[in-house]
Structure 1
Amino acid sequence: MESNKEIREVFNPTNYKSFTQLIDSLEKFFLHKNSLNFCSSNSIDMDQIDKAYLDEIKHIDDNVNIYFGKTLKELKCVIIDESFREHEIFITFSGPRKFQITKVNLPHLSYQDEEYNNINEIIDTFRNHVNNLSNYFYELEQIDQFCFVMDPLHPSYKDDYRKIALDERTWLHIEVTPDGVARNIYLIGQSESWNDKLQKGFLTWDHDKSIVDNIMSTFDISSFSNKHQVIFSEPATMSEKQHCAICLCEELPQDPSVPQPLCQNNNCGVYYHRSCLYEWLLASAGGRPPAFGVATGSCPTCSHPIACSLLDK
């Protein structure tokens, strides 16, 4: 009981004017107790926490904001890049000189799987990586600002792709490399006129221009007004949420993507979750594994030939 009372006193926010003062109090508390395994609280885990770890936290770069997680071994660091964007990186302390990255709101790269000797090493690596992604951030921000993004449902820097509405039944899928270059560009719910423009656009695509500028040139768009007045005039039904014709849902618990116009029959007018359509086609084929990961068959609604791969985002 006495230990719990002391812990509550240590973590009383009214006692401190700065994060450094809190760390100093924790250091004194550990030295006074001379033991690390005395806390019965579920919200604070003192196991393996030592003075060296706390001292390292205290001396982290002043430009980095630090927050404790559910335990003292879990940290969230907020780093501001050269363009004043805030980026979060979550770190776990697993023992002396053993730190791992548990979560980053960016596409996964190999540096996230490494083990680090100290927190500053992680912060320096992460900051360098973030600053090298300036073109990537810029291109995604331009797309999100000027285009009508249908998928992801809640676009973030972790999502390196966007599905942009061209009209009610046609979307443009586009991915952005870490260098800010467009790749893997294709249409969903293809129409002949859009496809012709896209094929011609590939021949004149200018990598010295922004992705948004290239989209405007490819599809003969003179200007954007705002993201809610889509690339062309937004159809009345564009703002209505579409349901998957198989599961009848807008969103799935384990799948943040939205139903898409995957059937290329322009008279069909139905939308499917990619995962729902894939499983449907797989079941219709008797459960046989599809060749090259692409399930083929007939549209469940109009019987038009249709194909689906889970490899596409």
Structure 2
Amino acid sequence: MTSYLHTFPLIAPADEKGFIYRGFIEINQVEHYIELHLPRPHSNTSANIYGSHELRTIISPFQSIIQSRLDQCQDVGMFLSDLKDTLENISSPSVTHHTRVKPSWERYALIYAELNTIGYDKLDSMDDTMDEFIFKCKDLGGRLHTIKAYIPPQYPLQSPVIKAELPSEKHHIGYMDDSKRDITTSTITTTTSHSTTNHQSLSALLDRTLQALDNYQLFFSTMDQLDQQTRVIDPDHPSRADTWRRIALGNHCSLQITIQDPSQPTKYIPIVRFFGNEKKVLPFQQAWHQFINAQQWQPDISLVENLTRALPSVLRSKYTTSSDRIMDTATKEQDDDMACAICYAYKLVQSTGDDGSTDKKHQETPDTICTNQQCNRGFHPSCLFEWLRSNPTTTRSFNVLFGSCPYCNNKITIKAIL
């Protein structure tokens, strides 16, 4: 069979077996991000199509037809060619531009009615064209959540798009935003058998989102307890969608814990991975494995309680003053044993742009550890590189610097940072 994928040079396989394709498809001289997930043989998974918001808006009225064709797809190139022809026939640029520039007065009247139903106390902000809204809503536990809503120009003929931070992909109901795939929810496209003409109102979708958030109260409480009672070193500012934490144990040792089922955070033993010097981290690994092998995990108690039974050092050291104010001086001493011994910070953020902008991908942690067990200090690679480079006794061979630990003079090496 002749493949037509070569006619789409901006789309390529994203995995070795050719079940996932990513790239850009041109519709009426406008490029749209698209991602195809084909069904795997001998599995119950169905094919899925994801993409940019604009592409999902064009596809949504014909989602069932396109989904059926994708399920029966024998050649990705032929499917993309068919999809391109179909979408170009139904979405001319002039119509799209007209609907965006001159939305009907009925649309504005309906949006105002929706806002009255929702309540203006929940509305945080909106743009001038009434296309995007940000709501601040509390769940059953009193936690404040930011929920974003996009109203398409064809509303109410097309359903709004809702984005909220949810910890599980099972609430991923629609398009996949390429920057935050795991926290996007949408009802433009559903995985149920509902008709594509059964569009939902903004208030109904907001209620659905709040119900989904309410289903994760135990998960939110569990993660809040981790943040409050343990020394979380990563992520810096966790979102409600994050199901993992990296927790300091001391002596430049840490563990990363990942919740397997956010709907039942303590039912299953979490995935635990240890980091640090091999000899220093060994006692923690042995204690954890002994705890698990003895089947001491108890689903009916909190995650923090289970962790501290196996690893007491995960708890944050605090004391309370006479005014019941929590003080962190003991915690400050604990944090010092995780910080870089040169700059005294845990994370080092490197500038990646000419304007001094930064990127999370260019953050360093003190992962270079002195091998002297009596010292065991950690350093950022950049800090240690600059220290050794300024030391006249340091030698260099190719791209490796050979020098001495700034504290104990033990031999230490670091790759040159070019």
TM-score with structure 2 setting the length = 0.47
Following superposition, the deviation at residue 160 of structure 1 comes to 1.6
C-alpha separation between the residues in 2 aligned to 1:64 and 1:255?
A: 31
- 2:136 matches 1:78: yes
Larger Rg over CA atoms? 2
Following superposition, the deviation at residue 271 of structure 1 comes to 4.7
Shift of the 56–223 alpha-carbon distance from structure 1 to 2, 3 Å rule, reads closer
Deviation digits for residues 149-201 of structure 1, max 9, x if unmatched?
Answer: 10001223232211000013111101123222352211112521111111112
Shift of the 138–61 alpha-carbon distance from structure 1 to 2, 3 Å rule, reads same
The residue that corresponds to 2:345 in the other structure is 241
Please say if residues 148 and 228 of structure 1, whose CA atoms lie closer than 8 Å, have aligned partners that are also in contact.
Answer: no
Name which of 147, 151, 165 aligns with 1:105.
165
Shift of the 46–103 alpha-carbon distance from structure 1 to 2, 3 Å rule, reads farther
Query: Counterparts in 2 of 1:141-156, with a 5 A limit?
Result: 141-156=224-239
C-alpha separation between the residues in 2 aligned to 1:216 and 1:83?
A: 25
Query: Counterparts in 2 of 1:193-208, with a 5 A limit?
Result: 193-203=283-293, 204-208=296-300
Please say if residues 259 and 272 of structure 1, whose CA atoms lie closer than 8 Å, have aligned partners that are also in contact.
Answer: yes
Shift of the 60–216 alpha-carbon distance from structure 1 to 2, 3 Å rule, reads same
Following superposition, the deviation at residue 135 of structure 1 comes to 0.8
Deviation digits for residues 63-82 of structure 1, max 9, x if unmatched?
Answer: 74453235411111222111
Counterpart amino acid of 1:241? A
Shift of the 178–235 alpha-carbon distance from structure 1 to 2, 3 Å rule, reads closer
C-alpha separation between the residues in 2 aligned to 1:196 and 1:233?
A: 26
The residue that corresponds to 1:59 in the other structure is 117
Following superposition, the deviation at residue 46 of structure 1 comes to 7.1
Shift of the 263–221 alpha-carbon distance from structure 1 to 2, 3 Å rule, reads closer
C-alpha separation between the residues in 1 aligned to 2:337 and 2:256?
A: 20
The residue that corresponds to 2:187 in the other structure is 114
Following superposition, the deviation at residue 257 of structure 1 comes to 8.4
C-alpha separation between the residues in 2 aligned to 1:150 and 1:200?
A: 25
C-alpha separation between the residues in 2 aligned to 1:113 and 1:184?
A: 29
* Larger CA deviation: 162-171 vs 73-82: 73-82
What CA RMSD, in Å, does the superposition of the two structures yield over aligned residues?
A: 4.0
C-alpha separation between the residues in 2 aligned to 1:123 and 1:212?
A: 32
Please say if residues 150 and 164 of structure 1, whose CA atoms lie closer than 8 Å, have aligned partners that are also in contact.
Answer: yes
Please say if residues 81 and 87 of structure 1, whose CA atoms lie closer than 8 Å, have aligned partners that are also in contact.
Answer: yes
Structure with higher RCO (Cα < 8 A, 6+ apart): 1
- 2:359 matches 1:254: yes
C-alpha separation between the residues in 1 aligned to 2:229 and 2:111?
A: 46
Shift of the 188–199 alpha-carbon distance from structure 1 to 2, 3 Å rule, reads same
Counterpart amino acid of 2:334? E
C-alpha separation between the residues in 1 aligned to 2:236 and 2:131?
A: 33
Shift of the 75–220 alpha-carbon distance from structure 1 to 2, 3 Å rule, reads closer
C-alpha separation between the residues in 1 aligned to 2:166 and 2:347?
A: 29
TM-score with structure 1 setting the length = 0.61
Q: Which runs of 5+ in 2 are unaligned?
A: 1-96, 174-184, 189-198, 319-326, 383-398, 400-411
The residue that corresponds to 2:308 in the other structure is 216
Counterpart amino acid of 2:273? Y
Deviation digits for residues 5-45 of structure 1, max 9, x if unmatched?
Answer: xxxxxxxxxxxxxxxxxxxxxxxxxxxxxxxx9xxxxxxx8
Counterpart amino acid of 2:172? S
Counterpart amino acid of 1:168? N
- 2:196 matches 1:96: no
Shift of the 186–272 alpha-carbon distance from structure 1 to 2, 3 Å rule, reads farther
Q: SS state of the match for residue 59, structure 1?
A: helix
Please say if residues 168 and 235 of structure 1, whose CA atoms lie closer than 8 Å, have aligned partners that are also in contact.
Answer: no
Question: What percent of counterpart residues are identical?
Answer: 18
Shift of the 242–248 alpha-carbon distance from structure 1 to 2, 3 Å rule, reads farther
- 2:244 matches 1:161: yes
C-alpha separation between the residues in 1 aligned to 2:150 and 2:214?
A: 23
